[in-house]
Amino acid sequence: MLTCLRGGRVVDPATGTDATGDVYFEDGRIVAKPDGREPDKTIDVAGHIVMAGAIDVHSHIAGGNVNTARLLLPEKHRAIRARLAGTPLSTAKWSTYETGRLYAQMGFTTVVEPAMAPHQSLQTHLELADTPLLDTGALTVLGNDDFLLELLRKGESQQAINDYVARTVEATKSLGLKCINPGGVAGFKENMRVFGLDDVVPFYGISSRQIFQALQKATQAVGIHHPLHLHMNNLGIAGNIETALATIDAARGLPLHLAHVQFYAYGKEGKNGFSSAGAQFAEKVNANKNVSIDVGQVMFSETVTVSADVLKQYNSLAGANPKKGAIFDGDANGGGIVPYAYQISNYYNAVQWAAGLELFLLVKDPSQVFFTTDHPNGGPFTTYPELFALLMSADLRAQVLARLPADVLEQTTLPSIKREYTLYEIAQMSRSGAARLFGFTDRGTLAPGSVADIAVYKDQRDRAGMFRKAALVFKDGVQIVKDGEVSRYVRGKTLHTSPAYDRAIEKRLDSYYDELYGLPRSIFDLPAAALPNHDAFAEVSCRS
């Protein structure tokens, strides 16, 4: 069936479009206006914004650590309303089903879960398979795993590391590599309580710098499209801007994605010894085109921090609100779950909020910076509409600034920044740029041939309201949202990539697992064929 969305304002940066026009789709794909054929269905979207479905590059929506957070905090997510017909469990708060529904209502159609532990990949995939309405993907976490650290300790070739990386990404069906406090989590098991870029992991005798550089090189060498996705050392600590700047220098011009960098944009100025270094960080990003960032914006809300940076999470336990937490020393990274409440009246939280916005507004190239709240760490993903509104209005920011503790204003450049994001720039960040970051060629745009993932928003002055409830959303050409409500479930695909490698690594891993764990390697492998969505995997090509 040929459908036409008629007369909307089409904002599609991938094709350089920002104009009133029509969008056609048929059989789940966007098509060019066909000659000599009338559409079977025409929907009048005059007065609306038409964009491709949005892509979230970093949101913790699935896996053992997220599930531990659910089970840790039953009092924080009591459900309050019954679901609509055809959408089982869609109002079960914080369930995978609700996650799919809430994203879809905002016009999001693709979400990347950024922290899948290789030994727990089956649970991550099971949860993603139970997340309706979205295409999903995951990043595999390496960098505190014994096999890699052993390769580095023994000074083995980069080729061996490349094969291991490619094999792990392929076998865990992910989109690439994440590295979380490289070496620091292994160090925590040896009772280290701080771990910097040049600290050395006990037993292995290698530094964090060596680990991330090796993984960065491997990611490039095997052709994984997404650059190494790095969660740096020293997250959340005053003065950690030094770590961030040194890490960017250590990237030596190779592609690198730095995750939730707001948590690293801290100086030591002011009487509290804590200030925003957002401007300094942004300047460094502007000068290093090889680097992309997502922000990890803090939004004032009750939330929970979920991270495989176990060292950092242990150190956060003292500030838990409510006062409880879970610390999991896993086979490699593990995880730490610590509830937290960001408060507008709290000096530190207010500096964090300002630092994040500085990063958004001072990084010049919209293809280098991505919105995230590092859901749920800086705030839940449901705060994105408020975040977009803040980026689009200096007035709105001024209103919030006026409510912050007064001494915060001395420690941030935010009050002086008048820039306002345009809809086009919002679409660059949330659609075209995000697709390019992962090498998606079939989404993030309304170009003919792309999947018909389309979000239609009523153009209104209340930008937060506009982005919170899309007027219409289509997933693979099927209408799933009307007036901000999900009307039916469709099942999404799991996106992954399959870099090539020398299969000899398999044999080596076989004997490694036998010797180290006394278990067959197969027990750790993702049995993709046994997944309920085994027929819904879609391959993202590697760089040639």
Cβ proximity to other proteins, 317 vs 394, nearer residue = 317
- In the complex, the smallest distance separating the C-beta of residue 196 from other proteins, rounded to whole angstroms, is 19
Longest dimension (CA), the chain: 72
| Alpha-carbon span 397 to 186, nearest angstrom | 41
CA distances, 327 to each of 40, 80, 190, 233, 375 (Å): 56, 30, 15, 18, 19
Question: CA dist 105 to 25, 299, 454, Å?
Answer: 20, 20, 12
Give me the amino acid identity at 66. V
Least distance CB 332 / other proteins (angstroms):
10
Residue 324 CB, shortest distance to other proteins, in Å, is 4
Min dist CB 326 to other proteins, Å, is 5
* DSSP 8-state class, residue 469: S
Q: Least CB distance from residue 336 to other proteins, whole Å?
A: 10
Nearer Cβ to other proteins (203/537): 203
Least distance from C-beta 224 to other proteins, angstroms? 24
Q: How far apart are CA 345 and CA 326, in angstroms?
A: 27
CB of 96 to other proteins, least distance (A): 5
Angle formed at CA 219 by CA 217 and CA 224, multiple of 5 degrees = 150
Residue 360 has φ and ψ, to the nearest 5°, of -55, -40
Cα separation, 282 vs 261, in Å, equals 10
Work out whether strand 200-201 and strand 335-341 pair parallel, antiparallel, or are unpaired. Answer: unpaired
Query: CB-wise, 16 or 518, nearer to other proteins?
Result: 518
The distance of closest approach from Cβ of residue 151 to other proteins in the complex, given in angstroms and rounded to an integer, is: 16
Residues present in the chain in total? 544
The C-alpha angle 525, 529, 530, rounded to 5 degrees, equals: 85
Residues in CB range of 92: below 8 A, 6 or more apart? 79, 83, 98
Spatial distance between the Cα atoms of 254 and 220, rounded to a whole number of angstroms: 8
Q: Which is nearer to other proteins, 217 or 488 (CB)?
A: 488
Q: What are phi and psi of 34, to 5 degrees?
A: -75, 140
Residues that bind other proteins (CB under 8 A): 62, 64, 66-67, 70-74, 77-83, 88-89, 91-98, 119-120, 122-123, 126-127, 130, 146, 188-191, 203, 314, 317, 320, 324-331, 334, 516-519, 523-524, 527, 530, 532
- Smallest separation (angstroms) from other proteins to the CB of 227: 28
| Cβ at position 469, least distance to other proteins in Å | 20
Q: Which is nearer to other proteins, 500 or 523 (CB)?
A: 523
Which of these, 160, 112, 158, 104, lies nearest to 133 by C-alpha position? Answer: 104
Give 331 or 459: the residue with its C-beta nearer to other proteins: 331
| Cβ-Cβ contacts under 8 Å for 362 (sequence gap 6 or more) | 278, 279, 282, 283, 286, 413, 417
Query: H/E element holding 338?
Result: strand 335-341
In the complex, minimum distance from the CB of residue 382 to other proteins, in angstroms, rounded to a whole number: 15
**Tokens found for residue 95:** 């369930």
Choose between 146 and 485: whose C-beta lies nearer to other proteins: 146
End-to-end CA distance of the chain: 36
Q: Which is nearer to other proteins, 36 or 518 (CB)?
A: 518
The strand pairing partners of 306, in sequence order, are: 337
Closest CB to other proteins among residues 289, 534: 534
Residue number with CB closer to other proteins (442 or 525): 525
Looking at beta carbons only, is 93 or 436 nearer to other proteins? 93
Tally Cβ neighbours within 10 Å of residue 17. Answer: 18
Quick one: 32 or 80, whose CB is closer to other proteins? 80
Minimum distance from CB of 454 to other proteins (Å)?
28
Alpha-carbon gap, residue 53 to 431, rounded angstroms: 7
**How far, in Å, CA of 283 to CA of 375, rounded?**
25
